[in-house]
Amino acid sequence: MAKAYDHLFKLLLIGDSGVGKTCLIIRFAEDNFNNTYISTIGIDFKIRTVDIEGKKIKLQVWDTAGQERFKTITTAYYRGAMGIILVYDITDEKSFENIQNWMKSIKENASAGVERLLLGNKCDMEAKRKVQKEQADKAFSSLARDILLKSGGRRSGNGNKPPSTDLKTCDKKNTNKCSLG
Amino acid sequence: MVGPEDAGACSGRNPKLLPVPAPDPVGQDRKVIRATGGFGGGVGAVEPPEEADEEEEADEEEETPPRQLLQRYLAAAGEQLEPGLCYCPLPAGQAGAPPPSAAPRSDACLLGSGSKHRGAEVADGRAPRHEGMTNGDSGFLPGRDCRDLEEARGLARAGGRESRRRRPYGRLRLEGPGDEDADGAGSPSDWASPLEDPLRSCCLVAADAQEPEGAGSDSGDSPASSCSSSEDSEQRGVGAGGPEEGAPPATSAERTNGGAEPRLGFSDIHFNSRNTFQVSRGQSARDHLPPAGPPVPLPAAEQGPAGASARARRSGGFADFFTRNLFPKRTKELKSVVHSAPGWKLFGKVPPRENLQKTSKIIQQEYEARTGRTCKPPPQSSRRKNFEFEPLSTTALILEDRPSNLPAKSVEEALRHRQEYDEMVAEAKKRGVSVADREASLELIKLDISRTFPSLYIFQKGGPYHDVLHSILGAYTCYRPDVGYVQGMSFIAAVLILNLEEADAFIAFANLLNKPCQLAFFRVDHSMVFASVMKDIKEGDKNSSPALKS
């Protein structure tokens, strides 16, 4: 049988607890959203196949638990990841500050040269924004090749474009990098 | 609401007893008795000031105590997460011989006073003792030891702390045991037992922590020194407790009992319980006693007006004796409980030694050290089972002096044990939960509560069980800072909340998580999980799959 995909990319979502990693992954894989996400325990994953430039890309996105306690578990998945998405909550400054810790964790556990993507979630809550985009740009300018994008996990109201689009884009780029790399 | 009701039930039993805040010295004994008398009640008795109110309250409410305890835990967590409430720096228990004697007392007291004290404890619970709670947790375990030590020494101070601690016990127990009381001591003991183990461990830890901090070297070098350090800590704690207790005058009955004399009698009882087995029995007996306490035949003299309090106290002692005979089956249960006993003290809410507040790291270290160590041989076995994953767990006794009937350690052995202890401490530090971690846990709890069974719409903010869930998780974080809050716990707690009263839910929750497997999981102890899984696999191989063998 022919393979159902041309490329398989393993992506990993990391970030503080409650920033919306699970929301993102579900939005990405199933394109829906609800308010009843539960805390991820240990690790989970979703799969989505996308077409990029005529090729079927199977994305295996691993969703990790944000709690520090699970780090020993989640770090085991760093090495196999081809791309790591760092997620923070734009309404939670601490989650942004902790990105540095997550970066450190990547450095320690992930394979060298892994693609990294910084993602500010909950852009639909602009009124409560605590982390300005410029901050992120400046703080992580070192992530030259990476994309900084803000994503709103939920539809904040009628007419608002689902953030899933942004995430797709980001993943596409990431996958491209992976494929190129 | 519940509290008052419970108190009423309690009052029926021994409302007077609960309120009795004996003088420091006396208070200890009394407190001990109280604590022993009723899981819930004993604790209440501990705090003298509130006694009158407590008595009334106790009469009114029995259930409240557990809730109050939880609340206290929560409050403590919020306020004192760092200090490691549970970590009472009471090494006394570890210290060894002296503590054991004291322990029996507390047990006895608890047993006897249990039923009566429940009400009082409840009342106490109502009273603002949040600080006490946290301290109490730590105090519980250590408390007993301290008490024992104190008793042995004839210290009056210990009483105060003990009383507090006891109250918590009483409260917790009250809820769980409350039903049990009617049924019999057995059920309470069951609850208590799981809790007790953690508590004990906590106590041990506390002792360890103390040693590492300063006394540690001494203790390591000479077991005796460790004991002394623990005693000192206990004394400190006692002193702290004493003042508080003093403020709230003990009930007339308690007073009548007098500080020193009652202590002595109680102390005797406690001695019996010191040994793990004995303790377990005693505890179980105590547990049973609380319920049975009232029925338990009390000396005629005790029955007098003041006698009520005396009864409670004594009943604890008697309870120990009687319980065994009266509740043989339960005794067995108790034994099992003993193995997992740590929880007891937690419930007991032994007031932590305020003076001895340690950092979370220290506490963790102590705790781990404690787990490694066991003053009592029987507990060790149980602990070992629970903490197989921990390195050097068998060295629990490392720093302990050997019983007088055994040859003393050689210098080399003592040094080696010291080294092993240091290694354990170092390991504990690695694992140690920092204050920041604990705070993080609390934040995470807030975050996760509303993410628990969201489809039910009862745990969300403003929902009927939001606060309950928060309380239980927060209380557990205080109860077992070494475990803290781990995502996933909220679901377990939520299920329990849906089926049990708050206090019962907490007890069940604490006991459930105290199971080796759950504990290993929530501590994310891979080695332990792996070990247990491999064990299962091996066993499975033997039974069925030869293929796996190859």
ipTM: 0.74
For B93-111, the DSSP string reads HHH-SHHHHHHHHHHHHHH
Q: Which residues of A touch B522 (CB under 8 A)?
A: 69
Average pLDDT of span B143-159: 41
Average pLDDT of span B184-202: 42
Pick from B346, B289, B386: which is nearest to B476 by CA?
B346
Tell me the per-residue pLDDT of B328-383, one tens digit each, with 9 for 90 and over. 444 444 444 444 444 334 444 444 444 444 455 565 566 656 555 444 444 344 44
Share in percent of chain A as helix, strand, coil (round to 5)? 35, 25, 40
Mutate which of A69, A73, A93 to disrupt the B interface (most B C-beta within 10 Å)?
Answer: A69
CB B431 within 8 A of CB B368: yes
The strand pairing partners of A32, in sequence order, are none
Q: Which residues of A touch B453 (CB under 8 A)?
A: 38
Q: H or E stretch including A57?
A: strand A55-64
pTM over 0.90: no
* Chain B contact for A5 (CB, 8 A cutoff): no
Share of chain B above pLDDT 70, in %: 20
* Chain B contact for A142 (CB, 8 A cutoff): no
Using CB atoms within 10 Å of the CB of residue A163, give its burial: 0 to 12 exposed, 13 to 18 middle, 19+ buried: buried
A39·B454 Cβ contact <8 A? no
* Chain B contact for A144 (CB, 8 A cutoff): no
The per-residue pLDDT of chain B, averaged, comes to: 51
Tell me the per-residue pLDDT of B437-494, one tens digit each, with 9 for 90 and over. 666 777 788 888 888 888 888 888 888 888 889 888 888 888 887 888 888 889 999 9
3-state secondary structure of A45: strand
Query: What would you measure as the largest C-alpha separation in chain A, in angstroms?
Result: 52
Residues near B171 by beta carbon (within 8 Å), at least 6 away in sequence: B39, B40, B43, B44, B64, B65, B66, B67, B68, B69, B118, B121, B122, B124, B125, B347, B349, B503
> Nearest chain B Cα to A18, which residue?
B447
Share of chain A above pLDDT 70, in %: 76
A39 vs B437, B487, B524: nearest CB? B487
CB B506 within 8 A of CB B70: yes
* Chain B contact for A69 (CB, 8 A cutoff): yes
Rounded Cα distance between A137 and A21, Å, is 20
Tokens of B347: 């419930």
Tell me the per-residue pLDDT of A63-122, one tens digit each, with 9 for 90 and over. 998 888 888 888 888 988 888 888 888 888 888 888 888 988 888 888 888 888 888 888
Q: What is the pLDDT of residue B430?
A: 57
B440 vs A35, A38, A68: nearest CB? A68
CB B384 within 8 A of CB B276: no
CB B122 within 8 A of CB B17: no
> Nearest chain A Cα to B523, which residue?
A69
Average pLDDT of span B177-186: 39
Q: What is the pLDDT of residue B368?
A: 58
Tokens of A56: 């079927």
**pLDDT at residue A20 tops 50:** yes
Tell me the torsion sign for CA atoms B488, B135, B88, B84.
Answer: positive
* Chain A contact for B526 (CB, 8 A cutoff): yes
Buried b (16+ CB within 10 A) or exposed e, B299-313: eeebeeebbbbbbbb
**pLDDT at residue A41 tops 80:** yes
Question: Alpha helix (H) ranges present in chain A?
Answer: 21-30, 71-74, 93-97, 99-109, 133-139, 164-180
CB B99 within 8 A of CB B274: yes
Band of pLDDT at residue B420, cut at 50, 70 and 90: confident
* Chain B contact for A70 (CB, 8 A cutoff): yes
Phi, psi angles (nearest 5°) of residue A99? -55, -35
Range with lowest mean pLDDT among A32-46, A79-93, B65-79, B417-431: B65-79
Tokens of B135: 């301290």
Residues, chain B: 550
Residues near A32 by beta carbon (within 8 Å), at least 6 away in sequence: A26
B454·A18 Cβ contact <8 A? no
Residue with tokens 């007993």: B144
B451 vs A37, A68, A69: nearest CB? A37
Pick from B135, B137, B266: which is nearest to B274 by CA?
B266
Distance from CA of B339 to the nearest CA of A (A): 27
- As a dihedral over the C-alpha atoms of residue B333, residue B337, residue B338, residue B343, rounded to 10 degrees, the angle is -150
Rounded Cα distance between B148 and A94, Å, is 47
Range with lowest mean pLDDT among A149-153, B134-138, B397-401, B407-411: B134-138
3-state secondary structure of B61: coil
Rounded Cα distance between B280 and B228, Å, is 25
**Half-sphere exposure for B106 (CA within 13 Å, toward CB):** 47
CB B235 within 8 A of CB B228: no
Rounded Cα distance between A3 and B485, Å, is 44
Tokens of B94: 């570890």
Pick from B458, B254, B343: which is nearest to B66 by CA?
B343
Q: What is the pLDDT of residue B369?
A: 64
Distance from CA of A135 to the nearest CA of B (A): 24
Band of pLDDT at residue B496, cut at 50, 70 and 90: very high
Mutate which of A38, A73, A98, A154 to disrupt the B interface (most B C-beta within 10 Å)?
Answer: A38
3-state secondary structure of A65: coil
Band of pLDDT at residue B181, cut at 50, 70 and 90: very low
Rounded Cα distance between A139 and B452, Å, is 34
Rounded Cα distance between A100 and A119, Å, is 13
3-state secondary structure of A165: helix
For B36-51, the DSSP string reads HH-HHHHHHHH-STTH
**pLDDT at residue A34 tops 70:** yes
Rounded Cα distance between B273 and B280, Å, is 7
Q: Which residues of B touch A37 (CB under 8 A)?
A: 451, 454
User: Which strand ranges, in their side-by-side order, compose the sheet holding A7-15?
Assistant: A43-52, A55-64, A7-15, A83-89, A115-121, A148-151
Mutate which of B476, B489, B524 to disrupt the A interface (most A C-beta within 10 Å)?
Answer: B524
3-state secondary structure of B62: coil
* Chain B contact for A75 (CB, 8 A cutoff): no
* Chain B contact for A73 (CB, 8 A cutoff): yes
